[in-house]
Structures are given as structure tokens and as C-alpha cells.
Amino acid sequence: EAQVTQNPRYLITVTGKKLTVTCSQNMNHEYMSWYRQDPGLGLRQIYYSMNVEVTDKGDVPEGYKVSRKEKRNFPLILESPSPNQTSLYFCASSLSREGYHSAFFGQGTRLTVV
């Protein structure tokens, strides 16, 4: 079954404690992205990757890091989480750059930073 898998689904952490949210896709997609969802703002892109070792900033990259060492994995790293990073996070993958290849989204990770 084609899917994007995120872990964990729920996470509560304390300010400053480094954390990683994993994302894996089994569709051999080139493009992967991270989005955060906040009330009234919809989803906003944090980082994206066009292929292995190729990543770039999206609209709201501050406070986040990513890596793409393997095509299937695209972890999101919060080196020093702060309460304003409390949000619902989604990983997405798509076959190519063109919008006619719809993005597949993971189940979401609800992060709370206290």
C-alpha cells in the first residue's frame, strides 16, 4: 500500500529538548516536504527536498532542520524546541515537481512543547 508514515503521532516535550520526527515513504517519490498546520493559517511549508542530499527552505524554516540521506526518509529535526513550535506537522511526498502529481500526506504528528 502506498503511504507516507510519520512517527510519532503525538509528542509532548519540554522547551530545549532536541527531537526528531521521522517520515518515510514507500513510493520512490523524489519530492518530500514538511508542513505545519496552525489554526486559521492552513498548512505552511517548512522545508522541502527535491532528491537525496538536496533540501531547501520553505516559508517557515526557522527553528527546524531536515536531512535527506535516503530517498525514502525525510526526518524533521527540532534542535531546541520552543512553545511556538507547538503545532500539527505533516510530511508529504510527490512523484515530481509538477502539480499534477498530487501530494501524499502522512497521518500527522501533533507536537506540544511546554
Residues lying near another protein in the complex (CB under 8 A)? 31, 33, 35, 40-45, 48-50, 56, 58-59, 88, 90, 92, 94, 96-103, 105, 107-108, 110
The dihedral over CA atoms of 102, 90, 88, 37, expressed in degrees to the nearest 10, equals -40
**Considering the complex, what minimum distance in angstroms separates the CB of residue 41 from another protein?**
6
**Nearer residue to another protein within complex by CB, 11 or 43:** 43
**C-alpha cell at position 30:** 523524489
Residues in contact with 40: Cβ distance below 8 Å, sequence separation at least 6, in sequence order: none
**Nearer residue to another protein within complex by CB, 15 or 46:** 46
